[in-house]
Amino acid sequence: MSKKKISCILALLLMIGICVGGTLFLLHFIIDEEERIIMKGESYSINPDTILEDLSENKIDVFTPQEEGQPEKSREYVQWKPADYYLIAQTLHELIWEEPLVAWNMSLIIFDWDCENFDKGPQQAHFRYYKAEKMRERKSRFVSDVLVNPLENMVSGLREEHYPRVVLWDAIDLAKLGVSAEEALDIAEKNGGAETRAAVGNSCQISVILNPALPDYDGWQVMYTGNSLGVVDLYYIDPETGELVAKK
């Protein structure tokens, strides 16, 4: 959009009585657009049999850089808790960013279950962290995406910069997270999820998602997805109280 057109818009807004603060706010979004800059993507091999014990002993050399085209490892299901995934993700994040996670906000949590091996716990997790920092004329949002996939003996991290930061992201307040991902899934199971799995012969996947940016619901979403049926059931669960808000 040309400067002349922007000037005309501003003049019109002022004529109809919009305050200067509101005008500047609108101008900010007319002119600015965040640029997504991928800084680096990294994949590492892990040993699911030993990584948790190694981390408990403060060993950090548990990630082996993967080469492009490296063959996929054999799949063996793990019996990890969500806390195990959090620990691995935090360790990888701090390794590739070379700084503690304490200064970062969390904006996305996803745990994936395989219905056929439901009792073994989640088999994949995805976390997104971000922070705002001024490195140039204006603030950037730095984004850290971490994927933990023990079925492929793999973890990965994607580093991004969004510049200039225009949109303010919502953070997950972990202090107010009274209901864990496992508890949210248990609530869904007791309200029809178990029957859903049985109806498709456990030929499905379950994703437990917490993403404050989602437009439909910003609490826990428990999604049952059939292999050929798409989304079968969707549960909205309050992350503070555990109340079943809706079932779709």
Convert the pLDDT of each residue in 181-208 to its tens digit. Answer: 999 999 999 999 999 999 999 999 999 9
What's residue 5's pLDDT? 37
User: Distance between CA atoms of 134 and 186, rounded to whole angstroms?
Assistant: 42
pLDDT mean over 34-51: 95
Helix 3-15 vs helix 20-31: crossing angle, to nearest 10: 160
pLDDT mean over 217-225: 97
What's residue 68's pLDDT? 66
What's residue 6's pLDDT? 36
Convert the pLDDT of each residue in 14-33 to its tens digit. Answer: 333 333 334 333 333 334 68
**Stronger pLDDT, 228 or 89, i.e. the higher one:** 89
Q: What's the mean per-residue pLDDT of the chain? A: 87
What's residue 217's pLDDT? 96
Strands (E), 46-180: 64-65, 105-114, 124-134, 139-149, 154-163
pLDDT mean over 211-233: 92
Q: Which of 224, 173, 181 is nearest to 81 (CA)?
A: 181
Flag whether pLDDT at 155 surpasses 80.
yes
Confidence of residue 246 (pLDDT cuts 50, 70, 90): very high
Flag whether pLDDT at 86 surpasses 80.
yes
Note whether 54 and 34 are within 8 A (CB): no
User: Distance between CA atoms of 101 and 96, rounded to whole angstroms?
Assistant: 11
What's residue 27's pLDDT? 32
